[in-house]
Every structure is written in C-alpha cells, then in structure tokens.
Amino acid sequence: MNILSKLKQNIFLIISILLVIPSFFKMSDYGMFSTQDFHLFRLQQFDKCIQRLEIPCRWADDAGLGYGEPVFNFYGQLSYAFAEAFHLVGFSFVDSLKITFALSFLLSAVAMYFLAYKLWQSKYGAVVASLLYVYAPYRALDVWVRGALPESMSFIFYPLIILAVEKKSLLSFSVLIFLLIINHNLSFVMFLPLLLVWMIYRKWWKGLVGFVISFLLSAFYVLPVLFETKYIDLGSTISGYYDFRAHFITFKQIFLDFSWGYGGSTWGDGDGINMSLGLLHWLLPLIISAVVALFCFFKKKKIDKYILDFGFLLVMSVFYLLLTHNKSAFVWELLNFMEYIQFPWRFIGMAVFLLSLSVGYLFKLFDKKWLFALILIAISVNHFIYGVSYFKPDLWFEVSDNYYFEGPEWDRQREASLRDYWPNLGHDLPSAPNDGKYLNYFPGWEGQFVSDGLMMKEGAVFSDTPIRRLGNVISLLSIIGLVILAYKRYIK
C-alpha cells in the first residue's frame, strides 16, 4: 500500500519520465550513431587517466596524432567522469557514452519538472515544461547531430541551479555552480547573465558567496585555465570557420525553420542543421501573453508574482534570442571573451530553457485537466510531425569499441581538433601519426628533450606544476570543508 501511495503521489513525475523515453530510445540498439564531435575518443583518453591514477586528469596521451595534448587541463571533465563511472562497472565505452547522452535527456526533464512545480505550483505545468524542455529541436541537434556531450549535460544543471536560488540553498547552489563549471565552462558563461539577473530579481544576495565557494571547489580546473592557457594556441578556435561572425542566424531560422539536416553551420542562412526554437516553444508563450494581457485589461487582474515571473522569463528569452542575430554583433565585438563561444546560435539553448519554463504559467491561469490533455496532444502531434525526424541518428554503425580504437578510425580521431590544445612551445603541427618515440612538451613533463617542444617518450614523467598543485589543494580542502558542513547540517 505504501508503494502504491508513493506511485500515486509521484504519478505526474512518472508520466514526464515515460514521455521522455522516445527522445533516446533508439540508443538502445547495438552500436553507435554518427556525431560531429569526438567525445568517445576523449572518454577513452579520460579512462587512461583514471587507470594511471592521474586525478584530476590533465593529459590526453593519444591526442594530437599521438604526440599528446593537455586536453583535460582546459576542457571540462565532469561529463567524462560521469560516463567513466558506467565504464568502470563493466559497460563498453560506446554504451557508457550512450547512457550518458540518454541521461542528459532524462535528468534534465526531471530537473525541469521540479523547478516548474516550485515556480508555478502546478503538476500539470511541471509535466508540460519538462516535455518542452526535452523535445526542442536544439536538444536533438546537441545530441543526435553534433554529439555535444558536455553541452547536453549542462541542461541538467540550469533548472537545478535556479531551483537552488528559489529555495535559497547556498550549499546546493555552490555545488551545482561548481559542477556546471567543470562540466562545460562555456555553458556557465552563457548561463551567467540569467543567473545574476535572477538572483537580483529574487534579492538573494547571499548567493554571491556561492560563487566564491564554487570557485574554490573548482580551483583545480579554473586556475590552470587562467594561468596556463598561454602555453597553447587558442587562435584556431576563434578564427576561420570558428569566427562567430559566420554563425549568426536569421529570425526565420529561429521561429519558422522546419527542415532537418546533419550538415554544419555555414555563413548565411544556408546551414545544413536546424537551430530553431521549436514551434510550440514560442507559440504557447505568445498565446499566454495574449491571454494575460486580455485578463489584465478586461478583468482588471492585478499584476501578481506569477505574472512578473512569466514576464521575467519572456524578457530574458528575448535577450538571449537577440544574441543569436547579427544585430547583436556590436555586443560580441565589445565583449571580446564572447568570441570563444564561437556559435551565436548556442544561445538558443538558453531561450529553450526559459520559454519551456514559462509555459508552465498557463496552468496557473487555468488549472484544468482538459487543458492539460489538449496541450499534451499538441506536443504529441508536434513531435510526431517534426520530432520523429529530429530525435534519430543520421548514420548508425553496428560496431563495438574496437572499431573506434584501431585502424583508420583511430587515426581520424587522434587527428581531430588537432590545433585546439596544441602546445605552442616549439613543435610544429605534425603531418603524420607519431611513431611512439616522442611526445609534446608541456609544463609538468620531465625527461629528455629532443628539440624545442619535443621530448623522448621513454622515461618521461608527467607531474603537476605549482599552479596545478595549488588548485588541487584548494579544491581538496574546499570539498572536505563542504562535506563537514553538509554533515553538520544533516545531523541538525
């Protein structure tokens, strides 16, 4: 009876979870789908770090055509650590990666459910918000086209961080910010304007302390990023194809693009991928806005907390949408750090979060079962017409781990993103794979030098630099202190 009552109590959450399954169900097949990013390779390199007890991970042995690159010294590690946990209990690399992608859909839906319920006090609204949050074209693009593992994982943290603000939980807030930073620092940068404005809107000044705590927790990662980036050439990540000026999108692409493709982002509006909001994601908030305006005009409805929250979400979504359009180019040029975001259309993800959450307000206006059923039908029809073609792979390879870690595919992955983390300490970019005798020098390596920027691999030992050791110590002490604080609160 207790189990039945629990199920009944959480029936709406269960509905949300069940309805999200189609977004990743195809991953249950044997093999791996095609992606534009090489996160399977990075997961395997992260596993090598764990096997040699290099924690936190810094160096990718086989990157840079086998000469090695300090990938994890600068790139977020959390999503790989998450996938590695599944690998360590017996899953293959391929299955571990697919499980992590699937959980990025599932856990983000659960996180959005709890935030929407907290904000609107409606289980109907929570279900709808969670479904819209998952079934957006941009979410399908992130996983099924780009295969952008850290970015797709970041969607789990956006609702949870805002929920921590709503609950004024400094401990949860600090930990969640820390996790977002070490998962994908660009996602943190994109999320930061919303977070700061939300905290001001809620007048939660104590949250500023949370940023300090999260910085201390992530010092092992943040300090090397701040002080050792000078040792790698990041110019290739913001020039040529990756120049943000080439990747603005039009309003038609944002609101009325129903095409789908597995190509790439190009100059102009001839992109081979869909970067739209999704029809229901902007149409439903527009309808709600009209209803609220009519209510306020004819029924003299007071501007209450819920209307203000709804309006806040809409204003912030417009802000993020404008950043995807070339009319905002002056902002990008004024704030130089934004060039590292590379693709302005990445901000569509933030608008999806805000607009999906805003739709929950509809059920604060009309808490009716028939309306809930109608919206679910609309979402289902929309998904059947468009979503079925979105949440599926382009190519499916019925292969195991061996396919990726030997032969031509292995060399292709080792060469991928060759320039991104290449040390600028003397050794030029190679034209052929390493024969196993040499490795790139990077601060921390000790051994026999062959020439500028190149070392003998045999006998070389990798260790942390003073700044990395300092970061490790700060993070370790901060984590211990946080655990003690959490335990004391639990006891109370």
Mean pLDDT throughout 321-332?
94
Percentage, residues of the chain above pLDDT 90: 66
Quote the radius of gyration of the chain (alpha carbons, Å). 24
The pLDDT tens digits for 144-153 are 999 999 999 9
Task: Specify which residues 451 forms β-bridges with.
Answer: 454
238, two tokens: 């913001």
| Mean pLDDT computed over every residue of the chain | 91
Mean pLDDT throughout 158-173?
96
Cis ω before 193 (30° cut-off from 0): no
Burial of 451 (0-12, 13-18, 19+ CB in 10 A): exposed
- CA 245 – CA 255 distance, rounded (Å): 21
Of 22-31, 49-58, 312-321, 386-395, least confident by mean pLDDT is: 386-395
Whether residue 421 contacts residue 229, with contact meaning beta carbons closer than 8 Å, is answered with: no
| pTM, 2 dp | 0.94
- CA 249 – CA 343 distance, rounded (Å): 10
pLDDT band of residue 243 (cuts 50, 70, 90) is confident
Handedness of CA 41, 46, 47, 49 (dihedral sign): positive
- CA 395 – CA 376 distance, rounded (Å): 30
| Residue 1 pLDDT exceeds 60 | no
The pLDDT tens digits for 66-99 are 999 999 999 999 999 999 999 999 999 999 999 9
pLDDT at residue 274 in the model: 87
Of 81-95, 302-316, 372-386, 461-475, least confident by mean pLDDT is: 372-386
The pLDDT tens digits for 417-459 are 778 889 988 888 888 888 888 999 999 999 998 888 898 998 8
Helices (H), 89-206: 93-120, 123-134, 137-140, 149-167, 170-183, 185-202
pLDDT at residue 239 in the model: 81
Mean pLDDT throughout 352-356?
97
The pLDDT tens digits for 187-197 are 999 999 999 99
pLDDT at residue 300 in the model: 67
pLDDT band of residue 266 (cuts 50, 70, 90) is confident
- CA 388 – CA 383 distance, rounded (Å): 6
Helices (H), 262-361: 279-298, 305-322, 329-334, 348-359
